[in-house]
Amino acid sequence: MSAAEPPDLATIEAAEKRIRDIVLETPSVCAFDLGEAIGQPLYLKAENLQRTGSFKARGAVNWIRTAGDEELAKGLVTVSAGNHAVALAWAARAEGVSVTVVMPEGSSPAKIATAHKLGAEVIVHGRIQEAVALCQQLRKDKGLTLVHPYDDPRVMAGQGTVALELLRQVPDLDRVLCPIGGGGLISGMGIAIKALKPEVAVLGVEPEGAATMRNAWDKGDHRAALEEIRTIAVSLAPVIVGEHTYATSRQVVDDIVTVGEAAIVEATKLLVTKGRLYVETGAAVALAALLEERVACLPERVTAAVITGGNMDVEQFCAL
């Protein structure tokens, strides 16, 4: 697969074999009490239990293990609000590769501290647009290799391994609800699902205040950026999606819905209490879509929600 080609099923299957020795196969838990509370039997694909606390470990390891020596020689650079930064720092440390991560102001203090503890050089800088600009400047000035947090086919292939596991664990699956930030996860998963079981509905969910992919879809342009981001689900808050993720999502995603902030908060609480999983707010938007009836509760349809991460600061947890 060249850097410009989107992954296919074979690429995602190869990625699973490549990363399996250190990336966990996370469970798909049938959340009985949560299902009773919302009137919808629901499986939870618990990526909050993944190494580094989110699905991002998959894409980071796959990228590192498919990189050439020349890509790794001078070190890597990325921009991230947190989960990708932590995952890349962890994956790079295992291979002895240096990483610089630029994180916008307001990023999770816990994620900043974890990335630093894993050996990354962490720079906290400005709003997300300014952090992106600094990342590109560092790449140019120091000759670092950019590892994009979502718009990279190798990253997308790694994220797509979530779907391979889910289809094995829930073979009678009818639909999957997946949070969308930049679109790497839902694109990779969608490729695998539509190749193996095309009748399964792939539904994306975004916060109303950060509906980046929905905005790009509506305008028919991956370059369509949001002027402002306002959401408690900070892990789903890029101002622009990617060229690869936009094009792929149009092919493999059946629909994208948006959810309000109150529903995200309530969904987070329910996942912690009724679902008994410690999750971050960005991981709760799939459940929020059911609570707000942006996606209909259909008890007869086997439904799974991807719980993307569990790296929530204790202070935010207490505030919620």
319 band by pLDDT with thresholds 50, 70 and 90: confident
211-263: pLDDT as tens digits: 999 999 999 999 999 988 899 998 898 889 999 999 999 999 999 999 999 99
> Which residues in the chain are classed under CATH 3.40.50.1100?
9-55+152-319, 57-146
**Mind listing the pLDDT tens digit for each residue in 3-55?**
568 899 999 999 999 999 999 999 999 999 999 999 999 999 999 999 999 99
What does CATH list as the number for 9-55+152-319?
Answer: 3.40.50.1100
Contact call for residues 251 and 242 (beta carbons, < 8 A): no
pTM here is 0.95
Least confident of 42-51, 90-99, 106-115, 175-184: 106-115
Q: From the options 3.40.50.1100, 3.50.50.60, 3.30.70.3280, 2.60.120.10, give the CATH code of 57-146.
A: 3.40.50.1100
Query: pLDDT at position 1, please?
Result: 41
